Amino acid sequence: MELAELLTPGAIRVCNGVKSKKRLFQDLAEIAGVAHGIDEAAAIDALQERESLGPTGVGHGVALPHARIDGIESVRGIFFRLDRPLDYGSVDRAPVDLVFALFAPRDAGVEHLKALALVSRTLRDPAICTKLRANEETDKLFAILTQTADTKAA
């Protein structure tokens, strides 16, 4: 599995002025609808339900919100680079500025876990995060994420 299988250029945004986790989830759901045809209301509900189990902020300014949802056939991703870090309630209490959301079919099982592990490994690399934070163009962000995955796979 590669990030290019989960992510499309249309599913990447640089977001300005996101001031709450609720607003972030609304924005993620909107892009999920546009980029992947996912029902927005179902996406918001699924993200909030998962977050109620514990924060998906994994530390070092990175959040990996994820949810299982009906009506999709494969795991889909959305990447946001926030212009201002957001208090997310992360495990290290650091604000978040890099968000990679995953939506998986309700019965995805291993596919969902593999995707989550891939995204987590990618965003644990400080060099990748530095490059992502230094760019505001979505095509460059897409290239950083997908080329990194290809390079690591080789």
The token pair that represents 123 in the structure block: 């965003």
> Residues 36, 60, 66, 112: which is the catalytic one?
66
Question: Is 36 among the catalytic positions?
Answer: no
The token pair that represents 133 in the structure block: 């934070």
Q: Write the DSSP string, the chain.
A: --HHHH--GGGEEEE----SHHHHHHHHHHHHHHHH---HHHHHHHHHHHHTTS--EEETTEE--EEEETT-SS-EEEEEEEEEEE----TT---EEEEEEEEEETT-THHHHHHHHHHHHHHT-HHHHHHHHT---HHHHHHHHHHHHHHHH-
Residues annotated as catalytic are: 66
